Amino acid sequence: MHPRDHNLYLRADIVAAIRSFFASRRFLEVDTPHLIPANAPEEYIDPHGSGDRYLHTSPEICMKRLLCRGHERIFQICRCWRRDERGSRHLPEFAMLEWYRRDSDYRQLMEDCQELLRWVALICGKSEGIDYQGQRLEPCREAQRITVRDAYARYAVKDVAVAVVDGTFDELMVTRIESSLPTHVPVILMDYPAEMASLARLKADDESVAERFELYLGGLELANGFSELNDPREQRQRFLVANERRIEAGLSPLPLPEPFLDELASLPPSAGIALGIDRLVMLFADAPRIDDVISFTPEEL
């Protein structure tokens, strides 16, 4: 047996736990196409293309269209592909969990995340804690919540609005913010600047902020979720801006998902989130590299 194969058993248990979690809450498991005409254009994410189709970088476009058709609670476990993503925590092909709720917002997703972590920990016999890379993690503890604005003031000693304008937001996020967040309990970093909204809705009482959050544990970013934007004109404009930034960065612009934009106005208030399954397994397996929790690395193929 290969040295890392024992982690495949743990991985199977975690995937089974995820499915049982959502089944217990009456979510419908769905399968959407992996080969699609267009993803949601993003500044830094390059899809793999083949002819006039692309491998999806996320199932969100099709899953939101299912919400528009009346489905209330859906989830999906699938493979996703992103070009040129490779490192100790990144793969060009990876396992993603996404779930969506109609008539909900990002705060409900925060509760879902905490309940899911507790459920998986219970199934894996880790309710008391996880030993990860010399740290004792407590996935069942209440998550600490911190706004992006407060995180920049506390850890980067800089106004987040200034960081957005002067182009240091991403650099500071990696070098100062993520490395300073508590690691022993779940952390929810919430309320991102509107410029980083992507497909998220802006807060009604403060349109400089998006209803978006990311979930961290043990220093790993696990999930990214938000209240969904359902204004097709605003979403189209954001896609066009993303393509402009891609061109400025020397990347090709991407086609827009027109059927999604056509249906977006019928999307009721909803929320959705993506969670990296490989990284979740890393935590429970005490694995320093994402390579340690998959069957084959890209280099072995």
What's the confidence (pLDDT) of residue 163? 95
Q: Which of 38-42, 43-47, 210-214 shows the lowest mean pLDDT across its residues?
A: 43-47
- Tell whether the model's pLDDT for residue 2 goes beyond 90: no
What mean pLDDT, rounded, does the chain reach? 96
249 burial via Cβ count (<10 Å: 0-12, 13-18, 19+): exposed
> What's the token pair of residue 8?
């495949």
Please state, in angstroms and rounded to a whole number, the distance separating the CA atoms of residues 212 and 190.
6
Domains (range + CATH), the chain: 3-300 (3.30.930.10)
Judge whether residue 4 has pLDDT over 90. Answer: no
pLDDT value, residue 1: 80
Q: What are phi and psi of 254, to 5 degrees?
A: -115, 150
How much is the pLDDT for 3? 76
Dihedral angle, C-alpha 173, 251, 263, 36, nearest 10 °: -110
Assign 14 a pLDDT band (cuts: 50, 70, 90). very high
Q: Crossing angle for the helix pair 106-123 and 6-24, nearest 10 degrees? A: 130
User: What is the C-alpha to C-alpha distance for residues 18 and 21, in angstroms, rounded to an integer?
Assistant: 5
| Pairing state between β 206-217 and 93-102 | unpaired
Q: What is the mean pLDDT of residues 232-243?
A: 97
**Rounded mean pLDDT of 58-66?**
98
Q: Which of 122, 139, 172, 145 is nearest to 282 (CA)?
A: 139
**Structure confidence at residue 34 as a pLDDT band (50, 70, 90):** very high
CA distance 49 to 57: 11
User: What pLDDT, on the 0 to 100 scale, is given for residue 229?
Assistant: 98
Question: Is 101 within 8 Å of 109 (Cβ atoms)?
Answer: yes
Tokens of 118: 């507790």
pLDDT at 113: 99
Residue 257 has pLDDT above 80, yes or no: yes
The predicted pLDDT at position 258 comes to 98
Q: What is the dihedral sign for C-alpha 169, 247, 221, 60?
A: positive
DSSP-assigned states of every residue in 203-265: ETTEEEEEEEEEEEETTEEEEEEEEBP--HHHHHHHHHHHHHHHHHTTPPP----HHHHHHGG
Q: Residue 10 and residue 23: Cα distance in Å, rounded?
A: 20
Band of pLDDT at residue 70, cut at 50, 70 and 90:
very high
- Which helix (H) or strand (E) segment holds residue 79: the answer is strand 73-81
Residue 191 scores a pLDDT above 80: yes
What pLDDT shows up at residue 86?
94
The residue with tokens 């592909």 is: 81
On whether the CB atoms of residues 86 and 46 are closer than 8 A, the answer is no
Type and span of the H or E element at 112:
helix 106-123
φ, ψ of residue 14 to 5 degrees: the values are: -70, -45
pLDDT tens-digit map of 142-171: 999 999 999 999 999 999 999 999 999 999
